[in-house]
Structure 1
Amino acid sequence: MDASCVTAAMDVRVHGAVLDHHRHILSPGALRFLGILHSSFELRRQSLLAARVARQAEFDAGLDPGFRAETAWIRDDAAWRVRPPPEDLLDRYVCMSIKQENGVFSSVTYMADLEDSTSPTWANVVEGQVNLYDATRGTIAYTSAATGKAYKLNDKTAVLLVRPRGWHLDEAHVTVNGARMSAALFDFGLYFFHNHHVLAVKGSGPCFYLPKMESHLEARLWNDVFNAAQDYVGVERGTIRATALLETITAAFEMDEILYELRDHSTGLNCGRWDYIFSFIKKMRARRACVTPDRKHIGMTAPFMRAYVELLVHTCHKRGAHAMGGMAAQIPVKHDPELQEQAMAQVRADKLREVEAGHDGTWVAHPALVGVAMDIFNEHMPQPNQIDKVPPCSVTASDLLAVPTLGTITSAGLTENVDVCLEYVAAWLSGNGCIPMNHKMEDAATAEISRVQVWQWAEHEAVMSDTGTAVTRDIVKQLVSERGVKFQAEARESGDVQRLRSFALATKLVRDMMTAPQLDEFLTSIAYNHIVTAA
């Protein structure tokens, strides 16, 4: 990427606090690189975001998502494949986790999440880049002030995969010519700029997880960003490798196309199950026939989720790419052996379903789940992956749009959704993007399911099976207020002033989002300005 592509002088400004140990991250060279990325690609990003809005209007008017006629040639061409994975990514087994070899746990791949599990306060995003810088060089270390225990990396470390924020988010603390820059480009740009050469010395390259894309054109934008970035620093195209999270219903109809656009950089697709459910409800929000049951009834065995998995595995393996499974959200249940065994049984069943479906690896939310997941994958997939197995597939557009019919809407489900959303938004406002709740790990994706379900129920006045009453906006407002008062009282009693303030603001934000006449696209977009103000 040559600076000549920038038609105006760049005024790149950092509006957040820059501490001494941030200066090497926010160096003049890095800021110039960010400015060039912004100037080169911001107009395209905004155009693609506008296309999302236009497409949603079509869905609201009754048009179904479907396979694109103009890209049928990509789907029909059996010859093309993605670039083969590099040696250090042949074995993906467990992401965000550990693999057991010879009785010793050693890392395979680890996803550093700058997206759904991170509250993007300025401190978090900059410290995250500092940690990535140190981890790439093997120097990251930590000593607990409470216990004095020291932590450092082993000689053999995981392959690091970085998940930047999605195309829809801004980074308010950095502006280019007065405009906020893309959070995705900020996260990608700093990590790539500072670490590509260190990874090259190790025989590796920068690896990314790309979230929340809604079309192959958004994948094309990423691919062009990769090419421009590689050209700018003078490394070979294809050095960057990326896995696309398949977590929107519209992207499900463009799996081949997304792989095709990223084919020189692609290492496959990942079933982003929780965001996919969120997207399904959000895109179908205007349709009474698409009202969904309580969240607990929408799992991977629902027909539309089975179809999504079947198509993803078939598409990836047909193109020589990894098909990664989804995250098991369970976490250990201490001091209750019965509940602990129930949780582990759920993980075992989930991972068995994934490996038998053809997945090449999976995710877990907690290190204690590694052994459970690895036992299943080692037994049923002793080789590094099963890309060579292309299962048959007969998935249709109707299969991908089949509304879950098992299960009902209940008052308990309504209260649980409200509680999850309140607790998560309060934590997010306080700088924590991932919280344990009801023996599961909740992040932005699961909170989004809770939010859009309640909005959908109120919009269509869905009837709760246990009470026979309809969910209305007035009922939701009252329930959110009542639960918010409860959480605030608990915070007040504990003397936690920050938690009290966060719940007070979260109660207002959640109440407004769940009862707004028009559904907000992302809760993080609504809440973001409040952490910018706090910063």
Structure 2
Amino acid sequence: MTTTELTHRVRVLASPGDRHDEILTPAALDFIGTLAAAFHERRQWLLKERRRQALRLASGSPLDFPLATSAVRSDASWRVAPPAHGLTDRRVEITGPPDRRMTVNALNSGAQVWMADFEDATAPTWENVIGGQLSLLDAIERRIDFTTEEGKEYRLTDPDRLPTIVVRPRGWHLDEEHLEFDGRPVPAPLVDFGLYFFHCAQRQIDAGQGPYFYLPKLENRYEARLWNDIFVAAQEILGIPRGTVRATVLIETITAAFEMEEILYELREHSSGLNAGRWDYLFSLIKTFGHRTDFLLPDRASVTMTAPFMRAYTELLVRTCHRRGAHAIGGMAAQVPSKDPAVHEAALAKVRLDKEREAEDGFDGSWVAHPALVPLCREIFNGVLGDRPDQRNRSRDDVEVTAAELLSVRRISGPPTAEGVRTNIAVALRYYDAWLRGQGAVALDGLMEDAATAEIARVQIWQWLRHRVIDRETVTRVLDEEIARLGADYPWARIDEVRELFERTALQPELPLFFTPDAYSRHLVRRAERRA
């Protein structure tokens, strides 16, 4: 089948922007429409299954490794596809939104991989969504250089030696309301995946690499199977050999941690491994078990990667990946450089300890949020890997992880501190304000905050209130104070909208699963209906 035969038209419900016609071509929209027609019902069923599973767990059903797939876990013979070109060495991966400035900085960073993040690091305004696709297209075509209005130049320093681009589309829980198919919004992940795949898959193949992806917030093997079927269909439609796509899955939900092998198995012809998405993992844990007192967590800063349940999660991830020939990629170093030498050195010391632990545990690479951290991360992994591209040969057969160990939160429980309460409220408010203004990755107090860390901040406040370890009067007082500080520091801040969003997502009796869907519909959607 060729794209000229497609007839599943998608309507654009947004005003045209500069160069949008290069991305929103009739053929590209037909391609997205074909995917939406084929997979909409399964996506809806899987979202309903998420809700059913949440209700089962809330009612006391135990979370364990599934009995139905024990044969997959016990069969030692199967492996994932071998590493694809450009993904053999992944010792340093840098992440960030695909705006033009970040695109140039990431491609100049010296990392092996750049994850262009349409999800947690991008506020999904229409301009950001289509502008990100233009940045990727221009980067592949080596025409990304630009000069700002202030005269600052952004140029690729070595266009022949750039990191491999891996795209993270938005999660299944999100829609793209500026595109309509069959009277309903197009699923956001199909938009991000589909536009990039349509315009850039063959270009990447011609350049000696391929269309590579990170898959966020999967909760079970069925969601991995859905993505695999989408890859198969997309490759068939555009005449691209089956198995060309590669995808790394972020294990960032507690339920996915119990199905790591199954997720690899479902994606095995397209798999490039798993990633320890630790911030979203903490968010998922709180969201899933927030109704239970034995899952109360202390301040976010106190929940380190050395906590027993986090150690169990990461060690199981490495063992699972290496047993199946897949890459295991470590978590985010969120620190950003400081002009204060003492603060800067303290931040680098934390990053060093974190990356040394990952490299020694068997991870094949890790994430950083800022180009300044690339040399340190590379140095640490070079020290362990040497000339080898990875350490997949380390089977970690010494690791045995039980369901109880993955859920052993009680051993680090403790009351929140006054500082922890204030930090969570301040981070949520400041991130919400930036997000509402179109910025998805924000440096706050020496850390790069994104949607995942904002989610942790607001669900911790909700959990602490629910179990009365803090009182509403304290939260209201701190909220008033931090709102006043936000307005004083940023006179342009959208104070009323920020406060309303925080109250809706952190202070209501029922916890919203994510802050982004409702906030997106209320604040970021700008429809101006027209036909493409």
TM-score range for the pair, normalised by the shorter chain length: over 0.9
Q: Could you tell me whether the CA contact under 8 Å between 2:178 and 2:525 is conserved in 1?
A: no
Q: Which has the higher contact order (CA 8 A, sep 6+)?
A: 2
TM alignment of 1:411-430, pairs within 5 A = 411-430=418-437
Q: Using the TM superposition, give the Cα deviation of residue 196 of structure 1 relative to its aligned residue in structure 2, in angstroms.
A: 1.2
How big is the shift at 1:532? Answer: 3.2
Within the alignment, does 1:442 sit opposite 2:449 as a pair?
yes
Is 1:396 matched up with 2:399?
no
Residue 507 of structure 1 is matched in structure 2 by 499
Aligned twin of 1:468:
none
**1 CA distance for matches of 2:182 and 2:16?**
20
Query: The residue matched to 2:393 in structure 1 has which SS?
Result: coil
- Measure, in 1, the Cα distance between the counterparts of 2:14 and 2:304: 41
Instruction: Give the aligned residue type for 2:490.
Output: A
Question: Could you tell me the TM-score, scaled by structure 1's length?
Answer: 0.92
Alignment partner, residue 484 of structure 1: 483
Deviation string, structure 1 residues 116-150 (Cα, Å, up to 9, x no partner): 00000000000000111111222211113324434
Point out where structure 2 has 5 or more consecutive residues left out of the alignment. Answer: 97-107, 528-532
Q: Is 1:166 the counterpart of 2:158 in the alignment?
A: no
Tell me the equivalent position of 1:14: 12
Equivalent position SS for 2:241: coil
Question: 1:355-395 CA distances to partner (integer Å, 9 max, x unpaired)?
Answer: 00000000111111111111111112211100011012110
Show the counterpart of 2:182: 177
Distance 1:50 1:194, change over 3 A: same
The one-letter code of the counterpart of 1:188 is: F
Residues 109 and 161 in structure 1, CA contact (< 8 A), matched pair in contact too:
yes
Q: Hey, which bits of structure 1, 4+ residues long, moved more than 4 A?
A: none
Instruction: Find the partner of 2:70 among 69, 72, 76.
Output: 72
The alpha carbon displacement at 1:472 in A equals 2.8
Q: What amino acid sits opposite 1:472 in the alignment?
A: D
Task: Give 2:123's aligned residue.
Answer: 119
Q: Is the 2:95–2:117 contact (alpha carbons within 8 Å) kept by the matching residues of 1?
A: no
2:29 to 22, 28, 31: 31
- Cα 1:263/1:191, change in 2 over 3 Å: same
**Any idea what SS the aligned residue of 2:479 has?**
helix
Q: Kindly tell me the number of residue pairs found equivalent between the two proteins.
A: 512
2:276 aligned with 1:276: no
Assess if the C-alpha contact under 8 Å between 2:216 and 2:252 holds in 1. yes
Q: For 1:94 and 1:403, how far apart are their aligned partners in 2?
A: 30
User: Which residue number corresponds to residue 214 of structure 2?
Assistant: 209
Retained in 2: the 8 A contact 1:429–1:530?
no
Match 1:252 to one of 254, 257, 261 = 257
Match of 1:240 among 239, 245, 250: 245
1:81 aligns with 2:113: no
Which range is displaced more, 79-88 or 263-272?
79-88
- Three-state SS of the structure 2 residue aligned to 1:209 is strand
Shift of 1:253: 0.2
Whole-Å Cα distance in 2 between the matches of residues 145 and 387 of structure 1?
A: 47
Residue 219 of structure 1 corresponds to 224
Shift of 1:518: 0.8
Q: Which residue of 1 aligns with 2:471?
A: 472
Q: Which residue matches 1:405? A: 411
Quote the Cα distance in structure 1 between the aligned partners of 2:32 and 2:446.
Answer: 40
The code of the aligned residue for 1:49 comes to: L
Q: CA deviation at 1:250?
A: 0.1
Aligned counterpart, 2:513: 521
Q: Which residue of 2 aligns with 1:285?
A: 290
Distance 1:347 1:434 in 2: 19
The one-letter code matched in structure 2 to 1:253 is F
Distance 1:127 1:105 in 2: 21
Task: Kindly state the Cα deviation for residue 159 of structure 1 after the two structures are TM-superposed.
Answer: 0.6
Contact 1:481 1:507 in 2 (8 A): no
Q: Secondary structure at the match of 2:19?
A: helix
Asked if structure 2 preserves the Cα contact closer than 8 Å seen for 1:480 and 1:510, the reply is no
Do the aligned residues in 1 keep the contact of 2:111 with 2:374 (CA within 8 Å)? no
The structure 2 residue matched to 1:313, chosen from 272, 295, 318, is 318
Give the C-alpha shift of residue 474 in structure 1. Answer: 4.5
Q: Structure 1: how far apart are the matches of 2:15 and 2:480?
A: 35
Hey, what's the Cα distance between the residues in 2 that align with 1:402 and 1:526?
A: 32
Question: Following TM superposition, by how much is the alpha carbon of 1:175 offset from its aligned partner in structure 2, in angstroms?
Answer: 0.6
Inter-CA distance 12–534: structure 2 relative to 1 (3 Å threshold): closer
1:133-172 mapped onto 2 (5 Å cutoff): 133-152=137-156, 154-172=159-177
Residue 97 of structure 1 and its aligned partner are, at CA, apart by 7.0
8 Å CA contact 1:325, 1:362 repeated in 2? yes
**What secondary structure sits across from 2:44 in the alignment?**
helix
- Compared CA separation, residues 416 and 92, structure 1 to 2 (3 A): same
| Residue 107 of structure 1: how far off its partner (Å) | 4.3
Q: Deviation digits for residues 482-518 of structure 1, max 9, x if unmatched?
A: 32233224333xxx3xx2xx23201111022111111
CA contact (8 A) 2:109 2:371 kept: no
> What percentage of aligned pairs have identical amino acids?
47
Match of residue 101 from structure 1: none
Paired position in structure 2 for 1:371: 375
Whether the 8 Å CA contact 1:259–1:268 is kept in 2: the answer is yes
- CA deviation after TM superposition for structure 1 residue 106, in Å: 3.8
C-alpha distance in 1, partners of 2:86/2:447? 31
Instruction: Give the SS at the match of 1:87.
Output: coil
Quick check: 1:298–1:404 contact (8 Å CA) kept in 2?
no
* Aligned residue in 2 for 1:342: 346
1:333 and 1:188 map into 2 onto residues whose CA distance is 35
Provide the aligned C-alpha RMSD in A: 1.9
CA distance in 1, matches of 2:235, 2:116: 21
